[in-house]
């Protein structure tokens, strides 16, 4: 466990995208207003045409000039991504039983989300909140084939991730995992998901709006169930209820994030967990069937301008090893064995800079227990290299 201490930075309240019910009143009202407006517009245009004796409109006369046939390079890319990846995206229906106060009855509830096939033999990655409390999980492939009573192999104890397994299958189309360490703000992205739990494999596009975002996400409308998430990718690609667990993709069709949450009372502000935070777990699950998170054993604060000023630190990026209560370096942990100390600043993990797009915890998550990583550490005026063999977290 790498415990990220709370700094003086605000977090964004958001809701997670598991869908329970969809409402269409807005569509009906909009349709009525549109019809009313069309009546006035048609009457006005008729008066204009009759008064002038000719139509003032310029109308397409030849199919050769049809603007719908003009295809931009970005459209080609988005279409190619959708065609390539959609067969690997699944809809997830989770059923749960909930007690009521009415004669102690139990009711069956269903919720919908999205997942992605990550191995040809049936492993699926999704969000933990999509299957939380589920008594039965159903997976529907893009071609309509349905698998019932799908196994929940396990969940990430520190992140909103879950791993499912369809039994006795082979040759399923699987996604390609990209690199979330090299993403950039302004980069074009594509999201695919089971929007509103009704519109399977809905494709939306946008850009990366920001990286390293902290949020507090609620998985229900009441907001009673909340989870703090860090290092998220912010995007303006439309992410709706039911999209949870679906992929955020670059224009090569590689997964760079897992769509997780949307900001309440905002337009086009969605959040995705970087795929790097799941890579080590995925590799370990597929290899061993067990969910074991790699463990370093430090508590830290990510350096911001406020943190730098408060602690009088010499750099503006990195993770500062410190703890307000308890030990900054856990006794007997891999970090302790490698000689890390309170007051160290970790600036790189295997050569990747900490703080540009990810924290130490996210960068470590790309590896499995037993892997060895090189940490670049600033200690006073010295720059040190520490070799650390990661352990399995048993929290």
Tokens linked to 184: 């950039």
DSSP symbols for 174-214 = --EE--TTS--TT-EEEEEEEETTTEEEEEEEEEEEEEEEE
Are 290 and 370 in contact by the 8 Å Cβ rule? The answer is: no
Burial 176-194 (b: 16+ CB within 10 A, else e): ebbbbbebeeebbbbbbbb
Query: Any catalytic annotation for residue 129?
Result: yes
Are 383 and 376 in contact by the 8 Å Cβ rule? The answer is: yes
Which of 120, 119, 137 is CA-nearest to residue 128?
A: 137
74 vs 140: CA distance, rounded Å: 29
Give the active site residue among 205, 244, 359, 361.
244
Tokens linked to 85: 């990846």
Give the active site residue among 15, 132, 156, 160.
160
274 vs 258: CA distance, rounded Å: 7
Are 273 and 257 in contact by the 8 Å Cβ rule? The answer is: yes
Are 352 and 363 in contact by the 8 Å Cβ rule? The answer is: yes
77 vs 186: CA distance, rounded Å: 16
Query: Any catalytic annotation for residue 209?
Result: no
Give the active site residue among 88, 91, 94, 129.
129
Cα 287–Cα 293–Cα 297 angle in degrees, nearest 5? 140
Query: Any catalytic annotation for residue 135?
Result: no
**What is the set of active-site residues?**
129, 160, 244
């Amino acid at each position: 466990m790498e415990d990220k201490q709370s700094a003086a930075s605000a977090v964004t309240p958001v809701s997670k995208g598991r869908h329970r019910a969809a409402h269409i009143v807005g569509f009906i009202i909009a349709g009525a207003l549109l019809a009313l407006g069309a009546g006035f517009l048609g009457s006005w245009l008729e008066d204009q045409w009759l008064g002038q004796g000719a139509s003032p409109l310029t109308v397409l006369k030849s199919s050769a000039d049809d603007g719908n046939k003009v295809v931009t390079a970005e459209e080609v890319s988005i279409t190619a991504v959708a065609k390539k990846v959609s067969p690997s995206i699944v809809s997830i229906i989770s059923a749960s039983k909930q007690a009521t106060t009415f004669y102690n009855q139990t009711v069956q509830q269903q919720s919908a989300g999205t997942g992605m096939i990550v191995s040809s033999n049936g492993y699926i990655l999704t969000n933990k909140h999509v299957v939380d409390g589920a008594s039965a999980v159903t997976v529907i492939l893009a071609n309509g084939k349905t698998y019932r009573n799908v196994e929940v192999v396990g969940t990430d104890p520190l992140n909103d991730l879950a791993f499912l397994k369809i039994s006795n299958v082979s040759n399923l189309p699987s996604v390609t995992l990209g690199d979330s360490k090299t993403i950039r703000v302004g980069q074009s992205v594509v999201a695919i998901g089971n929007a509103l739990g009704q519109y399977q494999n809905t494709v939306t596009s946008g850009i990366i709006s920001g990286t390293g975002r902290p949020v507090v996400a609620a998985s229900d409308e009441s907001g009673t169930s909340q989870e703090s998430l860090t290092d998220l990718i912010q995007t303006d690609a439309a992410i709706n209820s039911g999209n949870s667990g679906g992929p955020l993709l670059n224009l090569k069709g590689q997964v760079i994030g897992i769509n997780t949450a949307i900001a309440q009372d905002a337009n086009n502000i969605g959040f995705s967990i970087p795929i790097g935070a799941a890579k080590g777990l995925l590799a370990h699950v597929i290899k061993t069937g067990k969910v074991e998170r790699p463990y370093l054993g430090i508590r830290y604060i990510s350096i911001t301008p406020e943190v730098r000023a408060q602690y009088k630190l010499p750099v503006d990026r990195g993770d500062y090893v410190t703890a307000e209560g308890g030990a900054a370096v856990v006794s007997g942990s891999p970090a302790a064995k490698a000689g890390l100390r309170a007051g160290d600043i970790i600036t790189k993990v295997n050569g990747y800079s900490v703080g540009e797009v990810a924290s130490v915890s996210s960068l470590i998550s790309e590896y499995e227990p037993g892997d060895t990583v090189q940490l670049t550490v600033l200690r006073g005026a010295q720059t040190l290299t520490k070799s650390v063999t990661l352990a399995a977290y048993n929290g």
